[in-house]
Structure 1
Amino acid sequence: MCGIVGLFLKAPRLERELGALLSEMLVVMSDRGPDSAGFAVYGDRTQGRVKLTISGADEDVLRRAVAELGKAINETPAVTLHDTHAVLSICFDKEKAARAFIEGHDDISFVGAGARMELYKEVGRPEQVTQRFGLPRMAGSHGIGHTRMATESAVTTRGAHPFSTGLDQCLVHNGSLSNHNGVRRMLQREGMRFATENDTEVAAGYLSWRIREGASLKQALTDSLSDLDGFYTFVVGTETGFAVLRDPISCKPAVMAETDDYVAFGSEYRALAGLPGVDKAHIFEPEPATVYAWERR
């Protein structure tokens, strides 16, 4: 089941509205995924710094963990708290040490990292999740989101989408991969580690691995058509844009709208119906086994 949304703004004047628009799209998809929800927003970057998003039980736990992390890496992070998540801004050269600290800490979990990406996900209905994290007030150039109906793994914060396995890269997925255990083992031999049993994390890891090996995002998605078996729709967020891919059969619903101001994706048209100017948009269904990508530098 599950619901996917994505919004890429061509017009910078709409950036203040990104969170409000994406939130509405996500909430509309609630009945496709009432168990948990998540989203990634790509906002401003600060030269020489990286954003690390972490999760914990509550703000007190996060504050204590951030204080300990600051001592461990000998830098006081700039911190923004959003309910059960915190976004830490640190120098790029401290990222490796910070990641090691987070992975070794019992009370917090790593969610995602990037120069521009902030990633939030939690158990609960999408309208609750978007409000808890303040998505309607967020700004940025693009974002993707997911509403989950768990069918193959537990309903947990870690099991919610998006999944991020590379800097400024994340993926949401509707469908099921039949060979994810074999791909997981192959990626583990290549040095990748996974936090969940979710097949979507494997798909995200596969793309990160191919990109690490020198492939472009478009080539990595093209390669996935032969290397990942199953039925699926992928929406991928990157620092500069987003991409869409459906499997060769494309039994999962998908619709897109493009205007001079934006490109939007939804599992159903009703997710797009509230967007400004959608009545004049080019509405189309993405073709099977075809990579669609948009970038803004």
Structure 2
Amino acid sequence: MCGIVGLFLKDKALEPQLGAMLTDMLITMTDRGPDSAGIAIYNEESTSNGKLTVQSDDPDTAFEGLAESLGNAIDAQVGMSRKDTHAVLTIPADKLVQARAALRELNGSIRVMSTGEILEIYKEVGLPKNVAERFEIEEMSGSHGIGHTRMATESAVTTMGAHPFNTGSDQCLVHNGSLSNHNSLRRRLQREGVHIETKNDSEVAAAYLTWKMQNGSTLGEALESSLDDLDGFFTFVVGTKDGFGVVRDPIACKPAVMAETDQYVAFGSEYRALVNLPGIEDARVWEPEPATVYFWNH
């Protein structure tokens, strides 16, 4: 089943409230996905630093001295900010790829949740309310973000199986539905050198979009191609460094609703996820059309 929420802010004055608004939307979708939850936050841009958001099941041990060890390995200054089982490593942007490889050598049990210049992803097993509290999502600011509550149907209930999935720099995806050709597509993408870590069909969809964009497609073109190349039923909400996109399969059997005002664009699997947003009573509210790509960017 699963629940999706997304919020793209047009009004910068709302950015300090992004985390609080997304948290409320996410918790409202709990009964669509009580197994695990996650949120992707796009916060202030840095021109010189990138970020690796990492997770460990034993953070007290894994994160002890990690910034210093990683900094020595890549010969650069590394900062670290910890939130529960996650930590955000701040690294010179031109060292991100090197840092990710060095991290695997330093401690193979540390998992990378996201990589990019402004993206941070926090996700764990548990009720959405508890996950949001653990990471203090309510206090976070940013320009846009997406969230997901999961009811596992195709893979185990694990941290890595939770959404969102990040497969390209500052790119992430959440998904409601089921793909029938994800195993064959996973093998194809892996032959192309695309790294996929889980058995979750949603990660395959995210990796597919990354692969298309690495080969010259825009996000809109990649989403258009997904309508032909991905079999099954799906609603995708995708985040990029400067934008937010939505697409549904041609049958569009999974529920979805959008709302737009002068201040924001919002997405929810159900309208009740949107009812507490400011000015919702005056918003243009509609159901996204089947096989139609919607995209907003700053």
Instruction: List aligned pairs for 1:261-280, cutoff 5 A.
Output: 261-280=263-282
Select 2:219's aligned residue among 217, 220, 229: 217
Where does structure 1 lack aligned partners over 5 or more consecutive residues? none
1:34 aligns with 2:34: yes
Q: Provide the rounded CA distance (Å) in 2 between the counterparts of 1:229 and 1:59.
A: 39
The answer (yes or no) to whether the contact 2:51–2:115 under 8 Å persists in 1 is yes
Matched length:
296
Aligned to 2:91: 90
Q: Provide the rounded CA distance (Å) in 2 between the counterparts of 1:80 and 1:68.
A: 15
The answer (yes or no) to whether the contact 2:5–2:148 under 8 Å persists in 1 is yes
Aligned to 1:229: 231
Q: Provide the rounded CA distance (Å) in 2 between the counterparts of 1:64 and 1:204.
A: 32
Select 1:165's aligned residue among 164, 167, 186: 167
Instruction: List aligned pairs for 1:278-297, cutoff 5 A.
Output: 278-296=280-298
The answer (yes or no) to whether the contact 1:7–1:143 under 8 Å persists in 2 is yes
The answer (yes or no) to whether the contact 1:62–1:85 under 8 Å persists in 2 is no
TM-score (norm. length: structure 1): 0.98
Aligned to 2:46: 46
Aligned to 1:62: 63
C-alpha deviation, 1:58, in angstroms: 4.1
C-alpha deviation, 1:275, in angstroms: 0.4
C-alpha deviation, 1:147, in angstroms: 0.3
Aligned to 1:251: 253
Letter in 1 for 2:148: H
Letter in 1 for 2:74: I
RMSD: 1.0
Letter in 1 for 2:40: A
Q: Provide the rounded CA distance (Å) in 2 between the counterparts of 1:91 and 1:66.
A: 13
Higher mean displacement: 98-107 or 136-145: 98-107
C-alpha deviation, 1:77, in angstroms: 1.1
Aligned to 1:195: 197
Identity %: 60
C-alpha deviation, 1:106, in angstroms: 2.3
Q: Provide the rounded CA distance (Å) in 1 between the counterparts of 2:58 and 2:26.
A: 24
SS in 2 for 1:63: coil
Q: Deviations over 1:195-229 (max 9, x none)?
A: 10000010000000000000000000000000000
Select 1:129's aligned residue among 128, 131, 145: 131
Q: Provide the rounded CA distance (Å) in 1 between the counterparts of 2:50 and 2:214.
A: 19
The answer (yes or no) to whether the contact 2:67–2:79 under 8 Å persists in 1 is no
Letter in 2 for 1:52: L
Q: Provide the rounded CA distance (Å) in 1 between the counterparts of 2:59 and 2:251.
A: 45
SS in 2 for 1:121: strand
Aligned to 2:158: 156
Q: Provide the rounded CA distance (Å) in 1 between the counterparts of 2:103 and 2:285.
A: 43
Q: Deviations over 1:19-57 (max 9, x none)?
A: 000000000001100000001000112112111111012
Q: Provide the rounded CA distance (Å) in 1 between the counterparts of 2:142 and 2:162.
A: 22
SS in 2 for 1:86: strand
Q: Deviations over 1:205-259 (max 9, x none)?
A: 0000000000000000000000000000000000001000000000000000100
Q: Deviations over 1:247-292 (max 9, x none)?
A: 0000000000100100000000000011011011001000000000
TM-score (norm. length: structure 2): 0.97
1:3 aligns with 2:12: no
Letter in 1 for 2:95: K
Q: Deviations over 1:64-95 (max 9, x none)?
A: 33332122112231211111111111112211
Instruction: List aligned pairs for 1:73-152, cutoff 5 A.
Output: 73-104=74-105, 105-152=107-154
Q: Provide the rounded CA distance (Å) in 2 between the counterparts of 1:144 and 1:92.
A: 23
Letter in 1 for 2:79: A
Letter in 1 for 2:132: T
Q: Provide the rounded CA distance (Å) in 1 between the counterparts of 2:19 and 2:80.
A: 20
Where does structure 2 lack aligned partners over 5 or more consecutive residues? none
The answer (yes or no) to whether the contact 1:58–1:83 under 8 Å persists in 2 is no
SS in 1 for 2:233: strand
